[in-house]
Structure 1
């Protein structure tokens, strides 16, 4: 199976030269002359590798293409192609796996591309082996968070229940006082009648 590469560069001469060199070396190559076109192609086809220029429509247009490649579910290897040297920390922060500086000797370029694709495939294979082991650790964390929410929801009804019982006690106390007052008034009246007779 031929490996597919997407080349993104606004210089047509660079696109055509690189396309010819890569196709002679056994790659299937698609090209895009702008970041917008590159992003669109990344969404419509799968590629083993993306090679993108940095400065196209604007100075950091290449970063948009790299971000689109990083969000693709097929995870292509990413190389940043530029005529302007960039510090290693900078191109790695942008999300690139490799920096390719223009102009470059064809043999060196092909070797770098081959090495990058091979190391990227090993990296993806390693991620696939370790991902099932890390997946089960996540559900218990979610369950604990749900349990805390349930406890918080149960607390307010208890406060409401104690408020109701306090309110219910007040009328009971008033009724008891009213009954005592009624008994005392009934006892005093017969005593007055006996005194008169």
Structure 2
């Protein structure tokens, strides 16, 4: 399965060049020439990664794309592509996983994207495993349920044990046992005399 990337940039030359480079490297690439178009595609398709320029129709247009990507249920990796580098804490606070500074050598770009995809997939796997572990822990801590008498037969519990669990069945067994004990003593007493 090819990994899908959404590339959002208002510079057509950048879009076409990056799209060609990424497709040659085995990615499936969708493009958007504005933040609005990028947000729309995020809602209608699923991507493993979103690469967005910061300054497009407005200075904060890339932030809108990042927010839309973060809100997507499929949780893509997000890279901010910019010619105006921001401080690490700034782009991380925006919600990006990586900042890519353009122009960039093709080999370096591909290496950074691969590293980002691997680390993002690892993070998602850990998160999924953590949720599974929490679910198992909750299941183990649940109190044991009593087995109804009707279900006992289906679980191959002997009929006498299953009946003994109900109060009425217990009384019946106690009465029957009391009647059998004196009869057994009388018969054994008669044999001895």
Which secondary structure does the structure 1 equivalent of 2:116 belong to?
helix
* Structure with the larger helix share: 1
Residues of 2 paired with 1:135 and 1:11: CA distance? 47
Aligned to 1:66: 66
Query: Paired residue for 1:34?
Result: 34
Aligned counterparts of 2:137 and 2:33: Cα–Cα separation in 1: 44
Structure of larger gyration radius: 1
Match of 1:126 in 2: 126
Secondary structure at 2:81's aligned position in 1? strand
Aligned residue pair count: 138
Cα distance in 2, alignment partners of residues 92 and 54 from structure 1: 13
Q: CA RMSD in A?
A: 1.5
Paired position in structure 2 for 1:150: none
Structure 2 vs 1, CA of residues 62 and 137 (structure 1 numbering), >3 Å: closer, same or farther? farther
Which residues in structure 2 correspond to 1:129-144 (within 5 Å)? 129-134=129-134
Gaps of 5+ in 2: 139-193
Partner of 1:20: 20
Q: Which 5+ residue runs of structure 1 have no aligned equivalent?
A: 139-197
Cα distance, 1:55 vs. partner?
A: 0.3
Normalised to the residue count of structure 2, the TM-score between the two structures is 0.69
Partner of 2:43: 43
In structure 2, the CA distance between the partners of 1:90 and 1:136, relative to structure 1 (3 Å rule), is farther
Q: Distance in 2 between matches of 1:28 and 1:136?
A: 37
Q: Which runs of 4+ in 1 moved over 3 A?
A: 132-138
Give the alignment of 1:51-130 within 5 angstroms.
Answer: 51-130=51-130
Q: Give the TM-score of the pair, scaled to structure 1.
A: 0.68
